[in-house]
Amino acid sequence: MLFVDGGVCAPKGFLASGIGCGIRKAGKKDLALIVSQKRCAAAGVYTKNLVKGAPIIVTQEHIKNGYARAVIVNSGNANTCNDNGIDIAEGMCELVEKFTGVSSSDVVVGSTGVIGQKLSLEPISCGMPALVMGLGKNSEDAATAIMTTDTVKKEVAVKFELGGKTVKMGAIAKGSGMIHPDMATMLVFVTTDAAINPEMLQKALEFSIQDSFNMISVDRDTSTNDTMVVLANGMAENQEIISEGKDFDAFKAALYELSLDLSRRIAKDGEGATKLLECVVTGAKSAEDARKIAKSVICSPLLKCAMFGSDANWGRVLCAIGYAGADVDVTKVAVGFKSEAGEIRVCENGGGIEFSEEKAKEVLSCGDIIINATLGDGNATATAFGCDLTYDYVKINGDYRS
């Protein structure tokens, strides 16, 4: 598998566009469109928050038959907790049909932004001619148009082999705040020219998120609009994947690697963040215990603050392990920190050891920090992704609607 350029337009048969239609401040792109030349197998996963945006309800209905062909997404307004939300989401899909000919029932719709604020179809309708005219190899524009507090666009693409055919897979994502494990944790739209039926596509998607998107957290807030949808149009002309086997393993491995790459990007771009944190847990009794502990550590506000200050306050790691709800013998735990500046062990057998504070400061002053937690209880491992907690997080969220 190789990483390639092109984002969602890397696979055959997909075009994208992104424009500013006036939902957000003037000059900001806020409307994205992805269209496939052919109808696609479709699969999706969504937030487990009981409060769900209207776009999720509409998307679930549209792809319950396992197929779709286009995606329309707006930023700046979540279209959530509105009495006319379903009508607006359906209206967006109908606009896609009007301007592209793609059946509205084959359209995936997404929204992100402020919750509880009415969304008007007028700016979207007015922007549709330009949006459709812009359809081309414009993944970057689409990736930019779905951003809210993101500071960088997030797109990626890979190519790999299936049965002697070259297959490509691309994605765009948004996510910076309101990020917490429990799929989804953001908006992600994936395209591929692989031939795979809807059942196996859904199975691959659910596999890919378990140790990627479900293992990231910025602020412990699970959003109302989190959605990940994969579209597969089959234009690579590989033999259709209809069951498990070598080709299915290759497909789900590619989707996992793509998901893992985007997970790191989202965690690193956490609101106000200056550092990417990875907690690597080894020696757990079970994968479930390892995941619980890794998540608990990267979710700890105190640990996140310590990482912002480059403070080797390892006691906060032990504390987070202790309340994770996992089966662990804390007297066996060892903790270390690692970065491009080196590695330092700060705790063994659940207790402190002598270490150089100066060296620890040097290690923790880098942009990417690995927190190693060795449990000594078994063979299971897990990694979770997060970020530090800074002054800017409060500033960003203190005036989010302003």
Q: Which residues are catalytic?
A: 185
Of 266, 286, 87, the C-alpha closest to 181 is 266
Taking the C-alpha atoms of residue 303 and residue 288, their distance in angstroms, rounded to an integer, is 22
Of 376, 312, 299, the C-alpha closest to 338 is 312
Taking the C-alpha atoms of residue 138 and residue 159, their distance in angstroms, rounded to an integer, is 18
Alpha carbon 303 to its chain centroid, in Å, reads 23
Of 252, 266, 373, 229, the C-alpha closest to 314 is 373
Taking the C-alpha atoms of residue 172 and residue 146, their distance in angstroms, rounded to an integer, is 9
Write out the H or E segment, with its range, that includes residue 358: helix 357-364
Write out the H or E segment, with its range, that includes residue 345: strand 342-348
CB 230 within 8 A of CB 42: yes
Alpha carbon 207 to its chain centroid, in Å, reads 14
Taking the C-alpha atoms of residue 275 and residue 293, their distance in angstroms, rounded to an integer, is 20
Torsion angle defined by CA atoms of residues 375, 376, 378 and 384, in that order, rounded to the nearest 10 degrees: 20
For the record, the structure tokens of 213 come out as: 């998107």
